[in-house]
Amino acid sequence: MADVVVIGAGISGSASAYEMAKEGLDVVLIDRFGPASMASGWTLAGVRQSGRHPAELPLAKSAVATWATLAEELDGDTHYRRGGNLRLARTPEEAKIIEDLVREQSAEGLELHFLSSTKDVREVAPAVSERVLVASHCPTDGSADPSSTVLSFVRAAERLGVKTRFGERVLKIEIENGAVSAVVTDQGRIATSRVVVAAGIFGNEVLKPLGYEVPLQIPMVTVLRSSPVDSVLQQVIGVANADCAGRQEYNGRFRVTSGLQDWHGGLIEQRLQDGGVRPRVLPTGRSMAEVVELFGDVVPAFAEAQVEDYWAGLIDMTPDALPVIDNTLDVEGLVVAMGFSGHGFCLGPVTGKIICDLVQGRPSRLPIEPFHIRRFDTLRNAQEPATLHG
Ligand SMILES: Cc1cc2nc3c(=O)[nH]c(=O)nc-3n(C[C@H](O)[C@H](O)[C@H](O)COP(=O)(O)OP(=O)(O)OC[C@H]3O[C@@H](n4cnc5c(N)ncnc54)[C@H](O)[C@@H]3O)c2cc1C
């Protein structure tokens, strides 16, 4: 018997397990692969408030405050760096988009500067090419290392007594008299009265039999990582039309992404030396070449670096590009945290705190009404222009 079973050890599930253990709950954290094996490992891992939907901005601001002391709190690495975020314009049309963004978000109280010339942009980030016209600059944005962060959450959770079960797949959630009664996996059954579905693109597999479905599109993003080079770039870089983004990691490697692309549907389960399995999606040669061309155009040092690794990441994209964070479903004890639509890494530490509130029946410490699943009753056929900005 567990107080709570968390399905998924990405950043959302791991942070939730940690927060609940901190409050004394007996938690089991299950992942069909392992920590950070899907979006939370594939990610660019930008930690940003700029470019956020107004509904997400309070969460992003709170997350940025939390990230500052997270490594210390977890007694583990996060490699969080508040190096800023630059969103670049390469054409006059893009310059207009950036100018509007700065005006709108400044009005929402975010510190976002307009760098109005190539010279101003290159003073902040000398690695950016002369082809860039203007940029927005949010100095309090940044990035972290995704795998280290998730692992730090998992280790801290384990130290607080969370039982982790990796390489185990949840097959269904059992209900009795309208309330959660157990979770059935491919290796057994765990009695529980509360379950957190933090299973990313696979969340609907366990929700559908209960009569719920988060409408998702699943695009893919191509990611390239270079070998280490001298440190030239502090900021996370995005562009106005979101066709590429990138940053330099703490270890000198560039980690660079494409925009959203159609997923060809392939997902390989690759066996690792330690006997574990990791899911892998392979990008096409064309999409990799495009990433080099687009990002190399704005940060030329990337095009000169050697490519060490590549993969594609899948995104759990909802119609309004906002997540589902909800405990108001008709099944008692069921809490959902999925559909983060390409920007849930930054929010992870705060998602964990909110889920901890919801699981215990407390009001959420931050407003989450825009994230309730019922909004899709009317929204199902909408589709926000999808973007990815680091
Ligand atoms: C290329 C790319 C770039 C991105 N860039 C950014 C960025 O710069 N900034 C940002 O904030 N966000 C970014 N994102 C989005 C962010 O990474 C995700 O929103 C976030 O990591 C989602 O975390 P999660 O824990 O909700 O889901 P996931 O990390 O996908 O975790 C879900 C977990 O559930 C497990 N699981 C699924 N089904 C089952 C089951 N039946 N039983 C047991 N386990 C199961 C999976 O194995 C997986 O580990 C990016 C994403 C990608 C792919």
Ligand 1 site, residue 345, Cβ cutoff 6 A: yes
CA of 95 to the centre of ligand 1 (A): 31
List the one residue out of 160, 149, 146, 200 whose CA is nearest residue 17: 160
Ligand 1 site, residue 223, Cβ cutoff 6 A: yes
- Contact (CB, 8 A) for 360 and 317: no
CA of 114 to the centre of ligand 1 (A): 32
Q: Kindly list the distances between the CA atom of residue 197 and the CA atoms of 13, 30, 165, 207, 327, in Å, as whole numbers in the listed order.
A: 8, 10, 15, 8, 10
- Contact (CB, 8 A) for 318 and 339: yes
Ligand 1 site, residue 221, Cβ cutoff 6 A: yes
User: Residue 363's beta-bridge partner residues?
Assistant: none
List, in order of start, the domains of the chain with CATH numbers: 2-76+146-215+319-379 (3.50.50.60), 85-139+219-314 (3.30.9.10)
List the one residue out of 353, 2, 36, 333 whose CA is nearest residue 175: 333
List the one residue out of 201, 217, 211 whose CA is nearest residue 172: 211
Q: What is the pLDDT of residues 104-137, one digit of tens each?
A: 999 999 999 999 999 999 999 999 999 999 999 9
Read off the amino acid at residue 53: H
Provide the whole-model pTM. Answer: 0.97
Ligand 1 site, residue 185, Cβ cutoff 6 A: no
Q: Which of 172, 272, 340, 371 to mutate to test the pocket of ligand 1 (most atoms within 8 A of CB)?
A: 340
Q: Kindly list the distances between the CA atom of residue 354 and the CA atoms of 1, 19, 153, 328, 360, in Å, as whole numbers in the listed order.
A: 23, 9, 16, 14, 10
User: What is the H or E stretch that residue 356 is in?
Assistant: helix 344-359
CA of 38 to the centre of ligand 1 (A): 5
Ligand 1 nearest atom to the CA of residue 13, by list position = 25
Looking at residue 388, its pLDDT comes to 61
Structure tokens at 189: 């059954």
Ligand 1 site, residue 9, Cβ cutoff 6 A: yes
Looking at residue 387, its pLDDT comes to 63
CA of 314 to the centre of ligand 1 (A): 8
Q: Which residues lie below 8 Å from residue 188, measured CB to CB, with a gap of 6+?
A: none
Compute the radius of gyration of the chain from its Cα atoms. 20
Ligand 1 site, residue 35, Cβ cutoff 6 A: no
Three-state DSSP state, 201: helix
Interatomic CA distance for residues 191 and 172, integer angstroms? 12
Q: Which of 343, 371, 389 to mutate to test the pocket of ligand 1 (most atoms within 8 A of CB)?
A: 343
Looking at residue 379, its pLDDT comes to 73
Instruction: For the chain of 390 residues, list the mean pLDDT of each consecutive stretch of 10.
Output: 98 99 98 98 98 96 98 98 98 97 95 98 98 98 98 98 98 98 98 98 98 96 98 98 97 98 93 91 96 98 97 97 96 98 98 98 98 88 60
Q: Exposed/middle/buried for 26, CB within 10 Å: 0-12, 13-18, 19+?
A: middle
Looking at residue 378, its pLDDT comes to 82
Kindly report the number of other CB atoms within 10 A of residue 273's CB atom. 5
Interatomic CA distance for residues 333 and 94, integer angstroms? 46
CA of 199 to the centre of ligand 1 (A): 8
Ligand 1 site, residue 169, Cβ cutoff 6 A: yes
Residue matched to tokens 């209960």: 210
CA of 113 to the centre of ligand 1 (A): 30
Interatomic CA distance for residues 199 and 197, integer angstroms? 6
Ligand 1 nearest atom to the CA of residue 8, by list position = 34
Interatomic CA distance for residues 56 and 367, integer angstroms? 9
Q: Kindly list the distances between the CA atom of residue 359 and the CA atoms of 27, 92, 139, 184, 251, in Å, as whole numbers in the listed order.
A: 11, 48, 34, 20, 38
Ligand 1 nearest atom to the CA of residue 341, by list position = 19
Ligand 1 site, residue 31, Cβ cutoff 6 A: yes
